[in-house]
Amino acid sequence: MSKVTVVGAGAWGTALAIQAVRAGHSVTLVARTAEAVAAIARNHENGRLPGVRLPDSVTVMDQLPDASDLLVWVVPTQHLRTSLLKLRPPAGGIVICAKGVEVGTHMLPLEVAGDVTGDRPLAVLSGPNFAHEIAAGLPAATVVASVNADLREQVRVAFGTSTFRLYGNDDPIGAQLGGAAKNVIAIAAGVVIGAGLGENARAALVTRGLSELCRLAVALGGRAEAMTGLSGLGDLMLTCTGMSSRNFSLGHALGQGRSLEAILAGRTAVTEGVATAAALVARAGKVELPICQAVAEFLSGRKTLDQSISELMSRPQRDE
Ligand SMILES: NC(=O)C1=CN([C@@H]2O[C@H](COP(=O)(O)OP(=O)(O)OC[C@H]3O[C@@H](n4cnc5c(N)ncnc54)[C@H](O)[C@@H]3O)[C@@H](O)[C@H]2O)C=CC1
Ligand SMILES: O=C(CO)COP(=O)(O)O
């Protein structure tokens, strides 16, 4: 049994804490505020993952415990930096679970972690994993990517059970780009369905979105194979097909004509693709990402839906 500390008591952090208990570990869940700690203690449940009882063995606190064997950071990308600066993790490996690109710096999550905490073993956990299904113990698989093989193994032991399989690889850039870009493509897929453009259009969009992921990974030092694995295609399949995805459902509402402001005002959970779209396009530089770019322009209000669709459909036709 090892001491696993999960930082970030959102839906995913809570599900991962439950999964680490299932895997036989002693688990601490770190929430952002004392109020959040008290609410979880009172209800034996986290409002961000309603209907799921948190095991009594999970210690909930608003700071890091004195000792951890493994730190798992499950804070949204745009808050990753401030949370690391605030909690100042001690030396040792960290697993980052955010899926996005930081606004302003255009850094990927592991780059942000390295920037704040210095040289240390880092890993990314990313794959097709809706929090409520993992919390319920339904069968699923994911990717742990790190250049540090010992850390990969530690993460496998921390979370692996008969219902949750972890596949390792040494391409953290590919895994992070897959997780970030699929959120943007999922918004586009939601728009397509919400606007009534049809299943053909979605299939074409997701497939061409996968091409964007592959191009981007190779250009930024990752591998195209990562994009056809769980953290690329796997997560695209999950988040581009159903309303359980916050990114897809946001796109769906946009496609039905609702405003971005009204949609965001009605939700407290993070929808990573919104801030990530423009940051990802900026990070890509000269790499062609027409769908991600169209999402960024549409979200910013620079283009209407009709303009975006017409531009995507009138691009020069070429070999696949
Ligand atoms: N919900 C899901 O099914 C999955 C989510 N993810 C990723 O995990 C990350 C977290 O997502 P969720 O847990 O779903 O988000 P959430 O919206 O449920 O909760 C976000 C949590 O982050 C906390 N937070 C915000 N700012 C913070 C700060 N400065 N310091 C510490 N904590 C802070 C909030 O208090 C909240 O508890 C995102 O990058 C998401 O893309 C990945 C896989 C599955
Ligand atoms: O990343 C996720 C599942 O793998 C969660 O997706 P959403 O943030 O779109 O709900």
Task: Give domain status of residue 99, yes or no.
Answer: yes
In whole angstroms, what is the distance from residue 19 CA to residue 28 CA?
A: 12
Q: Which of 141, 170, 199 delimits the end of a domain?
A: 170
Question: Phi/psi of residue 25, each to 5°?
Answer: -110, 165
240: in domain: yes
Q: 130 CB less than 6 Å from ligand 2? A: yes
Question: Closest-lying ligand to the alpha carbon of 249?
Answer: 2
- 135 belongs to a structural domain: yes
CB 251 within 8 A of CB 275: no
Query: Are 5 and 74 spatial neighbours (Cβ–Cβ below 8 Å)?
Result: no
Place of tokens 């990402």: 289
Q: Ligand 2 atom closest to Cα of 179? A: 1
Report residue 159 as tokens. Answer: 């979370």
Domain harbouring 281, CATH code: 1.10.1040.10
Q: Is 73 annotated as a binding residue?
A: no
> Which pLDDT score, from 0 to 100, does residue 319 have?
85
Angle at 181 between CA 135 and CA 257, to 5 degrees: 90
Q: Are residues 154 and 183 in the same domain?
A: no
Whether 235 is in the pocket of ligand 2, judged by its Cβ within 6 Å, is yes
pLDDT digits (tens, 9 = 90+) for 209-260: 999 999 999 999 999 998 999 999 999 999 999 899 999 999 999 999 999 9
**Residue 59's CATH number:** 3.40.50.720
Q: Which ligand is nearest to the CA of 186?
A: 2
Query: Could you give the residue numbers annotated as active site?
Result: 182
- Domain identity same for 193 and 166: no
User: Are residues 41 and 153 located together in one domain of the fold?
Assistant: yes
> How confident is the model at residue 229, as a pLDDT?
97
The two structure tokens encoding residue 18: 């439950």
pLDDT for 156 beyond 90 = yes
Per-residue CA distances from 260 to 149, 157, 191, 197, 281 (Å): 42, 41, 12, 19, 19
Backbone angles phi and psi of 125, in degrees to 5: -110, 120
Distance between CA atoms of 23 and 69, rounded to whole angstroms? 14
Domain count of the fold of the chain: 2
311 CA from centroid of ligand 1 (Å) = 34
Last residue of a domain, one of 170, 196, 219: 170
User: pLDDT digit string (tens) for 78-111?
Assistant: 999 999 999 999 999 999 999 999 999 999 999 9
Residue nearest (by alpha carbon) to ligand 1 atom 35: 32
pLDDT band of residue 276 (cuts 50, 70, 90) is: very high
Q: Which atom of ligand 1 is nearest to the CA of 79?
A: 29
When the pLDDT of each residue in the chain is averaged and rounded to a whole number, the result is 96
- Residues 150 and 234 grouped into a single domain: no
3-18 pLDDT per residue, tens: 999 999 999 999 999 9
Reported as a pLDDT band with limits 50, 70 and 90, residue 188 is very high
Cα 108 to averaged position of ligand 2 atoms, centre (Å): 17
CA of residue 245 to ligand 2 center, whole Å: 5
User: What residue numbers bound the domain in which 251 lies?
Assistant: 176-313
